[in-house]
């Protein structure tokens, strides 16, 4: 597997050949490049970086390599240990640190890990900053600190609790209504950090949490991407326990999906729609999601008198457009909620608290709430890429083929039809082309995806 270097971080499979996988040598190399970049940016006497990890089997090994590499550069490290991506994001500014690193491969299977890199605001680096780090890494001319100037590691394992405290301080979290509703919720923590922090949050809100796969062993009991086909056990447990709904998060707890009281998917795309509906009902304003997200967010935003814009895919792109458009909530259709009231990062804890507040105030079932939103149906498929395949050429051919339709090319190719759309793009995190479609029925969405896949295969001679 080729080591993937992108704005989403440095990501690869554990073991194997240096430069082709995420080996110890690669972890040290890119941690070094990040540390040197940090010194270029900040130009000061002392440097501090917050480091945390999800529960992956390789997490402790990679974290120790990364932390001690920073120490070797004379950088002080605040070690959060087992943590979540949004927890590290809020810890960086609270610690007045110069940056942060999260060791997680998000929704990828257990053989993967990654270095996700943050700036001094606790936000992901932009493309130019990421490119500079890759340039430093490839130049391979690194100078480390002398013995009297080495950094130190300080442990701070309080940040999961601090993160929960910060979520509960948000004015729109209706703690009384949630407590009075006496919710019972099943949590699928995919045996990672979410299995610790989500039940703790629910307990603080007076919600009864039924735990499913909440031991942080790193042995994922199913594919960790929170999609319908991976959440059958959660659906069954919700029905068995007669719970109000179920919660699924990915290993680093920045994605959030719900299952209703009947064991049916609320719809990963509708996590953001529901949370935005609640926030906009209290504080009207604008919203942003990426180009691969449902039109339902646009509909809900306009219902509340706001305006909606779509960014290129990638959290950093969503955040940039949110700031530009003064969006009060945004995110991605993969269940990522970004609520600037707390921080500019996808945060499942924020999503859980806002969703519970909405459900408690509405006094309706989860399925009834879902029925209040516009019905769009999405298809999410992918094509695996062979080494050396001309992906840009394939996308250019598809663009030319549909030149008479409404096209957007800021991120791959998005083709807007009157009652449907399709978005084709290279993944930032895997060697694949992603094909997203949306239509007024699941059959239409799937048929459109299959049609486009057939056309791409014909173009690429797959």
CA–CA separation, 394 and 130 (whole Å): 26
Q: Quick one: 219 exposed, middle or buried, by C-beta within 10 A (0-12, 13-18, 19+)?
A: middle
For residue 106, indicate whether it is catalytic: yes
Residue 25 CA, chain-centre distance (Å), reads: 26
Catalytic residue (choose from 32, 58, 83, 106): 106
C-beta pairs of 390-395 under 8 Å, 24+ apart in sequence? 391/426, 391/433, 394/433, 394/456, 394/459, 394/460, 395/424, 395/425, 395/426, 395/433
CA–CA separation, 98 and 35 (whole Å): 10
Q: Where are the beta strands (DSSP E) in 9-98?
A: 9-13, 48-53, 76-82
Beta strands 153-155; 76-82: pairing state: parallel
For residue 267, which of 296, 287, 289 has the smallest C-alpha distance? 296
Sign, CA dihedral 268-204-315-305, equals positive
- What's the residue count for the chain? 462
Phi, psi torsion values for 288, nearest 5 degrees = -140, 140
For residue 82, which of 104, 66, 98, 49 has the smallest C-alpha distance? 104
Q: What DSSP letter does each residue of 115-161 carry, written as one string? A: EEEE-TTS-B--HHHHHHHHHHHHHT------GGG---EEE---HHH
Q: What DSSP letter does each residue of 175-216 carry, written as one string? A: HHHHHHHT-EEEEE-TTSTHHHHHHHHHHHTT-EEEEES-S-
Phi, psi torsion values for 140, nearest 5 degrees = 55, 40
CA–CA separation, 120 and 49 (whole Å): 9
Determine how many CB atoms are found less than 10 A away from the CB of residue 457.
12
Q: Quick one: 36 exposed, middle or buried, by C-beta within 10 A (0-12, 13-18, 19+)?
A: buried
For residue 158, which of 197, 105, 107 has the smallest C-alpha distance? 197
CA–CA separation, 249 and 17 (whole Å): 32
By annotation, the residues acting in catalysis are: 106
């Amino acid at each position: 597997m080729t080591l993937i270097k992108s704005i989403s971080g440095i990501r690869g499979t554990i073991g194997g050949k240096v430069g082709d996988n995420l080996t110890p040598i690669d972890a040290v190399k890119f941690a070094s490049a990040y540390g040197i970049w940090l010194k270029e940016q900040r130009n000061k006497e002392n440097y501090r970086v917050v480091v945390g990890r999800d529960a992956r089997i390789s997490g402790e090994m990679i974290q120790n390599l990364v932390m001690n590499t920073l120490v070797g550069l004379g950088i002080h490290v605040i070690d959060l240990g087992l943590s979540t991506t949004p927890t590290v994001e809020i810890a960086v500014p609270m610690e007045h640190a110069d940056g942060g690193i999260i060791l997680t491969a998000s929704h990828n299977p257990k053989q993967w890990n990654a270095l996700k890199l943050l700036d001094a605001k606790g936000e992901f680096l932009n493309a130019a900053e990421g490119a500079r780090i890759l340039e430093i890494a490839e130049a391979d001319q690194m100078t480390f600190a002398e013995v009297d100037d080495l950094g130190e590691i300080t442990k701070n394992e309080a940040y999961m609790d601090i993160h929960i405290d910060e979520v509960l301080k948000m004015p729109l979290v209706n703690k009384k209504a949630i407590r009075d509703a006496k919710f019972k919720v099943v949590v699928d923590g995919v045996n990672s950090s979410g299995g610790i922090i989500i039940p703790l949050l629910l307990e603080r809100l007076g919600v009864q949490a039924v735990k499913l796969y909440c031991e942080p062993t790193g042995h994922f009991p199913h594919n960790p991407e929170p999609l319908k086909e991976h959440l059958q056990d959660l659906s069954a447990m919700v029905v068995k326990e007669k719970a109000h709904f179920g919660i699924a998060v990915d290993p680093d707890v920045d994605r959030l999906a719900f299952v209703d009281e009947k064991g049916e998917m609320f719809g990963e795309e509708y996590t953001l729609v529901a949370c935005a509906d609640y926030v906009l009902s209290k504080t009207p304003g604008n919203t942003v999601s990426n180009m691969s997200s449902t039109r339902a967010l646009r509909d809900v935003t306009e219902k509340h008198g706001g305006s909606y814009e779509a960014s290129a895919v990638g959290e950093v792109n969503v955040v940039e457009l949110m700031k530009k458009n003064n969006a009060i909530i945004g995110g991605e259709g993969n269940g990522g909620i970004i609520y600037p009231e707390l921080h500019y990062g996808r945060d499942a804890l924020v999503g859980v608290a806002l969703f519970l507040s909405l459900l408690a105030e509405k006094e309706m079932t989860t399925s009834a709430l879902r029925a209040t939103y516009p019905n769009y149906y999405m298809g999410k498929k992918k094509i695996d890429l062979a080494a050396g395949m001309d992906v840009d050429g394939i996308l250019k051919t598809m663009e030319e083929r549909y030149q008479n339709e409404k096209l957007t090319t800021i991120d791959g190719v998005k083709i807007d039809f009157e009652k449907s759309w399709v978005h084709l793009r290279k993944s930032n995190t895997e060697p694949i082309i992603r094909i997203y479609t949306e239509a007024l029925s699941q059959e239409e969405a799937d048929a459109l995806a299959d049609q486009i896949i057939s056309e791409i295969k014909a173009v690429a001679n797959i």
